[in-house]
Amino acid sequence: MLENINATRMQLLQLRRRVALATRGHRLLSEKRDEISRQLIRIARLIQPLRQRVEEKLLDTFRRFMLARASMEPENVKAALQVPTKKFTLAIELANIMNVKVPKMTKEIEGDIICYGFATTSGEMDVALLSLEKAFDDLIELAEKEKQARLLAVELQMTRRRVNVLEHIVIPDIQETIKYIFGKLAEVERDNISRLMKIADMIRS
């Protein structure tokens, strides 16, 4: 395949520029890969305790709902939760982490989560709903962090592939071609010198 290369000084100059550009790209991508890894580790450390906190809050909420259902008539449970008066709005903005667009979520809540009379409901229903309300912030943060982690993981995988292609294929191939052209030019130079020496010998004789 190298035999088809046009072994000229212009081609050698172009290849040297290409290898310099590829080396610079490799360095920048390596820095990006390392920074994404650091960000991913930071987010992963936040996710673990956050998920545990969410699971604990949801488990407590579920347990309280079960207690409320056990102490109320089924039709009263249905009636209490049928017409909610609390409005929940989730806004999603995009932030930039190492050129990766990741979501940042904010919530807006209006109204009261307890939207029923107290005559036919138990106190456990009140506590269950308030417990669920308290879990919202952690739930939103957990969803945000997990989505960020997934997007960064995908970008990290792509960046690693690009770094590996540059490091193990592109740069070595260009360097091998440069070496081949340099050898060919050196061979041509030796042939020219040899011819000039023969011509000089012929002139002198």
Distance CA 33, CA 164 (A): 11
Token digits for 35?
Answer: 């920074």
Q: What is the pLDDT of residue 142?
A: 93
CA separation for the pair 48, 53 (Å, rounded): 9
Tens digit of pLDDT for each residue in 57-108?
Answer: 899 888 888 887 787 777 777 776 776 666 778 888 888 888 888 888 887 7
pLDDT 10s digits, 157-173 = 999 999 999 999 999 99
What per-residue confidence (pLDDT) applies to 38?
A: 94
pLDDT one-digit tens code per residue, 116-165: 666 667 777 778 778 888 888 888 899 999 999 999 999 999 999 999 99
What is the reported pLDDT for 4? 64
Per-residue pLDDT reduced to its tens digit, 17-64: 999 999 999 999 999 999 999 999 999 999 999 999 999 989 988 888
Model pTM greater than 0.85? Answer: no
Taken in order of first residue, the domains within the chain and their CATH numbers are 2-195 (1.10.287.3240)
Residue 2, pLDDT above cutoff 60: no
**Ordered DSSP codes for the chain:** -GGGS---HHHHHHHHHHHHHHHHHHHHHHHHHHHHHHHHHHHHHHHHHHHHHHHHHHHHHHHHHHHHHHTS-HHHHHHHHHS---EEEEEEEEEEETTEEEEEEEEEEES-S--S-SSS--HHHHHHHHHHHHHHHHHHHHHHHHHHHHHHHHHHHHHHHHHHHIIIIIHHHHHHHHHHHHHHHHHHHHHHHHHHHHHHHHHH-
Token pair belonging to 90? 């989730």
pLDDT attached to residue 200: 73
Burial of residue 165, with CB atoms counted within 10 A of its CB: 0-12 exposed, 13-18 middle, 19 or more buried: middle
* Residue-wise DSSP of 102-139: EEEEEEEEES-S--S-SSS--HHHHHHHHHHHHHHHHH
Instruction: Please report the pLDDT score of residue 113 as a whole number.
Output: 66
The proportion of the chain whose per-residue pLDDT surpasses 70, expressed as a percent, equals 87
